[in-house]
């Protein structure tokens, strides 16, 4: 592959993000939750945050924009790949950007290295990807993250820094909550880089952070995952209450028909604590107790 003035045929990983944005002809629109990552150094580092043993055979990107990260992902799946390179699928909801990606990376499309799916990542059928690397639209970060996490694949995702800090928080910390328990149920979650506003164009109003999610099975037993996540959600709506009162007050959310029976069966020391002090294994044990004694129904 050789560089050219249009970008077509350029060696993957070498495209200038500002030049890509100019060629796209359409600026990112912050009112549509679009902020292009334009710092070459950050872009170059992001694919390297995948776990060392991650399978890069089929990388998924959510929100390709003008293709700066897409370019780096194509470099990752073709580097030292020999006759059997990987591939990248980009999901892009903006029609103009989707069309531009197909034009800019026409060679990759023709070679079977790239597929561009036009549509909302919350609605389209996702391919059977091996890992996901993406600068997510911040307005729907939570919804997309919790569509991806149950897939149990390695994820490297850009979030607002505050959201990222809540994902990685531990029990007892002020940022700890439903998001922390739910994310850590699926994966080891860590912030691998903090990214300033100046790395984006247009600049967002907040700092950002890159989060790595390495899938693993939890070290506790959950008999009904949907109920467990619903139960966690319910108790954190009453985070300032004791666990005793949180269980009693949220049966309509968790689906418990007999919350008082759960209170009667639980340990007194546990009932006197606040939800924000319970680590994921403690939540899991309490959720199993609730399933056994509280007669949960579907919500």
- Give the residue numbers of the binding site: 35, 37, 63, 92, 120, 135
Nearest to 100 by CA among 67, 132, 63, 124: 67
Classify 203 as helix, strand or coil. Answer: coil
Q: How far apart are CA 244 and CA 268, in angstroms?
A: 9
44, 15 Cβ separation under 8 angstroms: no
Quick count: other Cβ atoms within 10 Å of Cβ 261? 17
Q: How far apart are CA 3 and CA 9, in angstroms?
A: 6
CB neighbour list of residue 165: distance below 8 Å, 6 or more residues apart: 175, 191, 209
Instruction: State the DSSP H helix or E strand holding residue 191, giving kind and residue range, or none if neither.
Output: strand 187-195
Classify 38 as helix, strand or coil. Answer: coil
Classify 257 as helix, strand or coil. Answer: coil
Pairing of strands 131-135, 58-62: parallel
State the Cα angle at 86 between 26 and 44, rounded to 5°: 55
Classify 189 as helix, strand or coil. Answer: strand
Binding residues for S-adenosyl-L-methionine: 35, 37, 63, 92, 120, 135
Look at the block and give the residue holding tokens 């799946």: 77
State the Cα angle at 143 between 229 and 219, rounded to 5°: 35
Cα distance from N-terminal residue to C-terminal residue, the chain: 55
Classify 221 as helix, strand or coil. Answer: coil
């Amino acid at each position: 592959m050789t560089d050219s003035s249009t970008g077509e045929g350029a060696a993957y990983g070498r495209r200038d993000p500002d030049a890509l944005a100019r060629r796209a002809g359409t600026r990112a629109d912050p009112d549509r939750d679009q902020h292009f990552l334009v710092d070459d150094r950050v872009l170059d580092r992001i694919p390297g945050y995948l776990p060392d043993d991650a399978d890069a055979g089929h990388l998924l990107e959510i929100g390709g924009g003008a293709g700066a990260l897409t370019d780096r992902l194509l470099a990752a799946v073709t580097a030292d790949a020999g006759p059997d390179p990987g591939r990248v699928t980009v999901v892009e909801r903006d029609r103009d950007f989707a069309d531009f990606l197909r034009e800019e990376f026409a060679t990759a499309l023709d070679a079977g290295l790239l597929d561009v799916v036009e549509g909302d990542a919350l609605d389209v059928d996702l391919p059977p990807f091996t890992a996901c690397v993406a600068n997510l639209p911040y307005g729907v970060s939570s919804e997309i993250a919790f569509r991806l996490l149950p897939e149990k694949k390695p994820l490297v995702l850009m979030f607002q820094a505050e959201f990222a800090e809540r994902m990685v928080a531990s029990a007892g910390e002020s940022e700890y909550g439903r998001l922390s328990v739910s994310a850590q149920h699926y994966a080891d979650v860590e912030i691998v880089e903090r990214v300033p506003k100046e790395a984006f164009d247009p600049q967002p109003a907040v700092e950002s952070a890159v989060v790595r999610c390495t899938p693993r099975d939890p070290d506790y037993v959950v008999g009904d995952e949907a109920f467990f996540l619903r139960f966690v959600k319910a108790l954190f709506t009453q985070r300032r209450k004791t666990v005793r009162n949180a269980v009693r007050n949220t049966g309509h959310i968790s689906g418990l028909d007999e919350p008082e029976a759960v209170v009667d069966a639980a340990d007194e020391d546990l009932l006197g604590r606040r939800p924000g002090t319970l680590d994921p294994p403690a939540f899991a044990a309490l959720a199993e107790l609730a399933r056994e004694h509280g007669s949960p129904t579907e919500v």
